[in-house]
Structure 1
């Protein structure tokens, strides 16, 4: 772990320097409330993940979906600084940062990835090093982004793909059809319903607690309390089809009994809404895994083996499965949960929702926290979800009456 130690000067032996460096990096990462954000910055900068406050190593026995690469490549900022012989952050100049970016490009890093990594370096200088007196200027802020091909003009579409309205319908329909035949089908269907029907982030989705779901009257309005970026909670409205899917899941959801722990008697531990078979909170990587499985099931690759289950073979031979495959095939290799947010915003506004209301639904930072508290009930009632979600289900799923 010398890559993170050698960049900070501190007298004493190796153990003393490593402890000092670990404390310094932990101070920087604590600026960010979200553990996922801390891990993202640590990954791009080259800070060992075991130094990230709150980080827990993944269980090697668990099967995991495709996750963001966290293994060091040697080209992370701190690794590169050590390899280039820098002993202090104050010694780095803008030409060094540009040289680093060029080496990333030569190694095959995409422009969007290089831009993100540069932003991590800039934030490290701006939010920590300059304030702590460990550097006198921010060399990352002086980089000519246009010359590095890191600037995207306003006319350039986002690199995050948006799902068409029909593709959103196909994902929901696919999850609905598979739910009865899968052990966790009702849970996965409910997660897809919430993701597409509210536009929440994948991290917010799996972070919802059981008591965060509220539906006072059967068949009536429902809401979900999510923990968003910056440690801010907000409530999102759930249209009837989305709430019905959660109700179906809750009817079969079971959590194994947890033995009492000494010293914790009487303390109420939050229970996750979406749980694994062992009662643990579903991991964020499972969200993308579910979306990929939906696409791969209805629009399999040419060399994919035929399904073994008779019920699934019969289902895939139907006309409705063929329609679903038509819309999910193009998404099979690139589908990502974040596209649900782009899709929600675009389709909601297309259907006449006010942009400011959609901004509230998505929990974007520009909406003041005070306004959210003052008008919470009104915002939930006016949420674009009440129009968008029923439209996505129209024609293949009837809503329930209270």
Structure 2
């Protein structure tokens, strides 16, 4: 989006974004992406055509234009934002039609989620204690980092959920935490004995036992950590465990789901633990676990 358009406040776009933030309670990242999607589209239309008068053939032309420059996933994301923009104004009878509603798009490639094996996870999670033993980091840093990593993997939290996690929502005696997920939906997640122990140590070393509020994971200054800080910290421990640097915090979530299914958990339970609104989102992990089932079958069945 050009600087000129970015600075110019378009009432129809601003009201749509306010609706996403206020009524739909979408995340700042999603709102930012929708602003970009609609802003670029309005810029493409320019002065030649009003957005409220666009017909399906113009929508198709724009999709073709996007396809020349972006991946299929970006194309789908951009069109999703524009569709939502038109749907919002259609519901308010501000436009006669949603020209993007029946637009046909190329199918997305189904990329299986990457995940760490249980051995790789163990090596990765041992990183903070290894550095502590080598006296490369302090007790505070070691237990803070271990608590953060254990929560990402042991509870399958999104990185935004971990950054936003509040000590007032912890029930360490029961091994539970309440987190705010996508769409501001709260869910209760088991965190396990190991993660609970690490969190207790982090709270103890930061003198916050019995605290009723505040970020779970903090810097020595008392301020909560950022998503960027967590991403960089994770890269440090990936390098220490000699694992690929492009493995994101979300890959720990993938590992969490895959290991649960490999261990015999039913998919509905995994869906609830991950906070997925739709079962179809969770089902992608079954493809990964099928490989494990096939291996068991080959080793155990006489006709394999």
Q: Shared fold (TM-score greater than 0.5)?
A: yes
Residues 352-363 of structure 1: pairs in structure 2 closer than 5 A = 352-363=264-275
1:347 corresponds to: 259
Distance 2:10 2:79 in 1: 25
Q: TM-score, normalised by structure 1?
A: 0.60
Helix, strand or coil for the counterpart of 2:100?
helix
- 1:82 paired with 2:51, answer no
Question: Which of 161, 170, 177 is the matching residue for 1:224?
Answer: 177
Distance 1:170 1:122 in 2: 45
CA offset digits 1:41-81 (Å, max 9, x no partner): 333432xxxxxxxxxxxxxxxxxxxxxxxxxxxxx432342
Question: Any conservation in 2 of the 1:275–1:282 contact (CA below 8 Å)?
Answer: yes
Question: Any conservation in 1 of the 2:17–2:35 contact (CA below 8 Å)?
Answer: no
Deviation at 1:27, TM superposition (A): 2.8
Helix, strand or coil for the counterpart of 1:142?
coil
Deviation at 1:243, TM superposition (A): 1.2
Question: Any conservation in 2 of the 1:3–1:78 contact (CA below 8 Å)?
Answer: yes
1:182 corresponds to: 137
Q: Aligned residue pairs: how many?
A: 270
CA RMSD of aligned residues (A): 2.8
Distance 1:195 1:95 in 2: 45
CA offset digits 1:186-225 (Å, max 9, x no partner): 2121110010111111111111111222223xxxx41111
- 1:134 paired with 2:124, answer no
Helix, strand or coil for the counterpart of 2:91?
helix
Question: Any conservation in 1 of the 2:217–2:224 contact (CA below 8 Å)?
Answer: yes
- 1:98 paired with 2:51, answer no
Residues 210-249 of structure 1: pairs in structure 2 closer than 5 A = 210-216=167-173, 221-249=174-202
Deviation at 1:18, TM superposition (A): 5.2
Question: Any conservation in 2 of the 1:4–1:21 contact (CA below 8 Å)?
Answer: no
Distance 1:175 1:102 in 2: 49
Deviation at 1:19, TM superposition (A): 6.2
Question: Any conservation in 2 of the 1:236–1:361 contact (CA below 8 Å)?
Answer: yes
Question: Which of 146, 166, 186 is the matching residue for 1:209?
Answer: 166
Deviation at 1:39, TM superposition (A): 3.2
User: For the structure 1 residues 104 and 188, does the alpha-carbon distance in structure 2 shift closer, same or farther, using more than 3 Å as the test?
Assistant: farther
CA offset digits 1:236-272 (Å, max 9, x no partner): 11221111111221121157xxxxxxxxxxxx98311
- 1:115 paired with 2:76, answer yes
- 1:251 paired with 2:204, answer yes
Q: Any unmatched runs of 5+ in structure 1? A: 7-16, 47-75, 256-267, 299-323, 368-402
Deviation at 1:226, TM superposition (A): 1.0
1:157 corresponds to: 111
Deviation at 1:165, TM superposition (A): 2.7
- 1:336 paired with 2:293, answer no
User: For the structure 1 residues 21 and 145, does the alpha-carbon distance in structure 2 shift closer, same or farther, using more than 3 Å as the test?
Assistant: closer
1:192 corresponds to: 149
User: For the structure 1 residues 282 and 352, does the alpha-carbon distance in structure 2 shift closer, same or farther, using more than 3 Å as the test?
Assistant: same
Deviation at 1:21, TM superposition (A): 5.5
2:291 corresponds to: none
Deviation at 1:351, TM superposition (A): 0.8
Question: Which of 221, 224, 227 is the matching residue for 1:284?
Answer: 227
Question: Any conservation in 2 of the 1:196–1:341 contact (CA below 8 Å)?
Answer: yes
